[in-house]
Homo-oligomer: A and B are copies of this chain.
Amino acid sequence: MRNHMHHQNRGVKSLASQAHTVLAFMHHLFGVRNRSATLFLAITLLIAGTALGDEGMWTFDNPPSKQMQERYGFTPTKEWLDHIRLASVRFNDGGSGSFVSPNGLILTNHHVAVGQLQKLSTAERDLVTLGFYAKNQAEELKCPDLELNVLESMEDITDRVRAVVKPGMNEADALKARQREIARIEKESLDQTGLRSNVVSLYHDGEFWLYRYKKYTDVRLVMAPERQAAYFGGDFDNFTYPRYDLDMAFLRAYENGKPANIPHYLKWNSKGAGEGELVFVSGHPGSTERLLTHVQLEFLRDVQYPMTLKMIDRRLQILREYGKQGPEQERRAQIDILRYENARKAYGGEYQGLLDEDLMARAKEQEDEFRARIASNPEWQKQFGDAWETIKQVTTARNKIAKQRFYRRLFTRSNLTNLATRLVFYVIETRKPDAERLDGYHESDLEALRFQLFSPAPIYPDLEEAIVAGMLQIAVDELGADDAFLKLLLDGRTPADTARQITRETRLTDPEVRKRLAEGGEEAIRKSNDPLIRLMLRLEPQLREDEEWYKDNIESTLSAASEKIAKARFAVFGKTAYPDATFTLRLSYGAVKGYPMNGTVAPYKTTLYGVFDRSESFDRKGDFELPARFWERRDKLDLSTPVNFVSTNDITGGNSGSPVINRNGEIVGVAFDGNIESLVGSFVYDETKNRAVSVHTGYIMEALRKLYDASELADEIEGKR
């Protein structure tokens, strides 16, 4: 999952598909509860060349064995790594999980599964509020559009990708040549193996890898607690610790209508990890921006973050107003509200870091030192020395179009407008040869794309209308109604009128309609009189032009310059560091450990006593109200049961739902958040304060057995069935 706020090119699949990835954007917002201080951290890393403390999100081909051995006396074997990798699950819409039984049972966070819970809910049966438990497989509910991936293999294909770039090619052509080759590699792999095949750029195009995934699209809901237990403390406690959340959900992967047979699953350990114990997190951190130049940080601070935060505030306002209309509207809006509250807290915290003058000055200083080091070697200087100046120039150009680009794209950020955008591009792109298509529409992407396009998940036109009207209004307010794109879009009407018409009259809410249009191809689309399709056809040339201009004038140059900096880093330090996160599988290591906080110390764990304390402390009100079962069954509970715990693992958004694993490969927790200190950004990964927050396996077991009467599930997890 990428960071669609920053639009830093990750090199392979990035910008062209971004206008089309509202859903990914939404999931980004949500999956990224712990964006961590990832934005700034590694300016120091860039200089030091090696990770500091327990820092790092390492690829499975290059684990930091030396550091782990030195700090914790542990070196993972190949078998250990393979087992963990194959037990780790990627949620394709953002998030992580793991297999915890041989029968396809998967543990993740409630907040990772909640999108599906919402889609499975109706006005009569709100699974988000009520929770859910399937006593047997027959009762399990099929998720409408959830795709899970398991990383089957990794192959270094850097040489093959690089070989297509010929001397003398300009940057735009080089990028295109490489992307064509990547599409070819993916298609070949898909044809040969049938596995989902993605080429991944690591170290900012320093390396290219072919990752092959086994995928599961028949995934069923097994168990989820009530929202009040999962998000206990609500937005207040989000990104904080001490914490008391039961942020868990269980799903099951099916194959051919039967529970998948999973040889690699994690053994359960309810005892959990003790203070100081070494633990691992295996998951899919979405994106980090640890290697931006100072100029790029300034761009984020001065341009990108203020726009983003303003948009988030507006969106929250829209959602809350909509939700106030009645209980059903409140239900429909609830998950989006959570997502945007989460985003506001995360981005707000990062923004505070960007505004910190000391931090920015240190970033500048460290960059200057690194550049001086490069400059001291004539060969390095010749190869890499101009990268920073190039980024500065391209950032100036980017600055000029950033506002236009940001606000034009807001229109596509509702479910309906996003679906329409992707439908139109789908039919146009798929008529071209694979290598010529926009990213996101290559053969290897299509199965997943269709899975999303034809999702039976409900769409609420009135909610869509409110969102589209609001987003259009911001665009008009910021760009003026004379903006060429907006003129085309509004055609003389108000944002409210436009939104009303397209959301009320479109039939794209029906997945069958979308399917027929997709299967009818460009001809069917062009014949359609659906007002939203007609509007998208009108907008498509401009959207395409914007994307192509951006790719040719910004992305290709940024990509080439970023690659130089990455290579400079390899030249100076070798491959002793980890690549920025790319929503691919990573391993982090660390110790279970409290930290100094608020004038005292935060403990390494919290307990069930604390759940009741925090609820009573607020007179059981609002976000601190517990489900009734907690009070009814209180006396059955062992109140000393650990609830959440913290560790020094370096994680970020996308890691939500990742298993926390001990050295024996047993699962001891499920990661779900970072503490507030990991947000408000120290420049460096600060082992003294940066913490991952996880749900303790002991709490999960206590809750399943004593609060939710889920003994069948508990027995399966503990291997008693």
Interface residues of A (CB under 8 A from B): 233, 236-240, 242, 275, 345, 349, 594, 597-601, 603-610, 612-614, 616-619, 624, 639-640, 675-676, 679
Contact = CB atoms under 8 A, between A and B. Distances in A.
Given A598-B598, A612-B609, A618 B603 contact: yes
A233 B600 contact: yes
A236 B640 contact: no
B610 A239 contact: no
A239 B607 contact: no
Contact of A600 (B237, B605, B612): B237
Contact of A598 (B233, B240, B601, B624): B240
Given A275-B619, A594-B618, 19 more contacts: A236-B601, A238-B600, A240-B599, A242-B617, A345-B599, A598-B598, A599-B675, A603-B614, A603-B617, A604-B617, A607-B616, A609-B610, A609-B612, A609-B613, A609-B616, A610-B613, A612-B639, A613-B613, A616-B640
A468 to B, nearest CB: 33
Nearest to A675: B599
A617 B603 CA distance: 6
A237 B601 CA distance: 8
Contacts of A598: 240, 597-598, 676
A633 to B, nearest CB: 15
Nearest to A614: B603
20 contacts: A240-B600, A242-B617, A275-B619, A597-B598, A598-B676, A599-B675, A599-B676, A600-B676, A603-B617, A606-B613, A606-B617, A607-B613, A607-B617, A608-B613, A609-B609, A609-B613, A610-B610, A612-B640, A613-B613, A616-B640
B603 A236 contact: no
A222 to B, nearest CB: 30
A600 B236 CA distance: 5
Q: Is the interface of A mostly helix, strand, loop or mixed?
A: mixed
B614 A239 contact: no
A178 to B, nearest CB: 42
A594 B623 CA distance: 15
Given A607-B617, A617-B607, A619-B275, A239 B599 contact: yes
> Top 7 closest A-B pairs, CB basis?
A599-B676, A603-B617, A610-B613, A609-B613, A609-B612, A240-B599, A240-B600
Contacts of A604: 617
A238 B612 CA distance: 23
A363 B288 CA distance: 40
A613 B606 CA distance: 7
Contacts of A242: 617
User: Max chain B CB contacts within 10 Å: which of A597, A607, A679?
Assistant: A607
A610 B618 CA distance: 12
B599 A617 contact: no
A132 to B, nearest CB: 28
A353 to B, nearest CB: 13
A626 to B, nearest CB: 12
User: Max chain B CB contacts within 10 Å: which of A275, A603, A604, A618?
Assistant: A603
B610 A617 contact: yes
A104 to B, nearest CB: 35
A426 to B, nearest CB: 42
User: Max chain B CB contacts within 10 Å: which of A349, A624, A640?
Assistant: A640
A169 to B, nearest CB: 49
A443 B612 CA distance: 58
A599 B605 CA distance: 18
Contacts of A608: 613
A614 B598 CA distance: 15
A553 to B, nearest CB: 40
A676 B599 CA distance: 6
A16 B547 CA distance: 80
A388 to B, nearest CB: 31
A546 to B, nearest CB: 38
Contacts of A233: 600
A237 B675 CA distance: 19
Contacts of A345: 599
A610 B616 CA distance: 10
Nearest to A349: B599
Contacts of A600: 233, 236-238, 240, 676
User: Max chain B CB contacts within 10 Å: which of A600, A607, A616?
Assistant: A600
Contacts of A275: 619
A599 B676 CA distance: 6
User: Max chain B CB contacts within 10 Å: which of A604, A612, A616, A679?
Assistant: A616
A608 B617 CA distance: 10
Contacts of A238: 600
A237 B603 CA distance: 12
A619 B676 CA distance: 24
A603 B242 CA distance: 13
User: Max chain B CB contacts within 10 Å: which of A599, A607, A610?
Assistant: A599
Nearest to A609: B613
Nearest to A610: B613
A645 to B, nearest CB: 9
Nearest to A242: B617
A624 B605 CA distance: 13
A343 to B, nearest CB: 15
Contacts of A676: 598-600
Contacts of A239: 599
A599 B238 CA distance: 8
Contacts of A607: 612-613, 616-617
Contacts of A618: 594, 603
Nearest to A680: B599
Contacts of A240: 598-600
A594 B345 CA distance: 20
Nearest to A615: B609
A327 to B, nearest CB: 26
A573 B236 CA distance: 41
Nearest to A598: B598
Contacts of A624: 603
A270 to B, nearest CB: 16
Nearest to A641: B616
A613 B699 CA distance: 14
A596 to B, nearest CB: 9
Contacts of A612: 607, 609, 639-640
A475 to B, nearest CB: 32
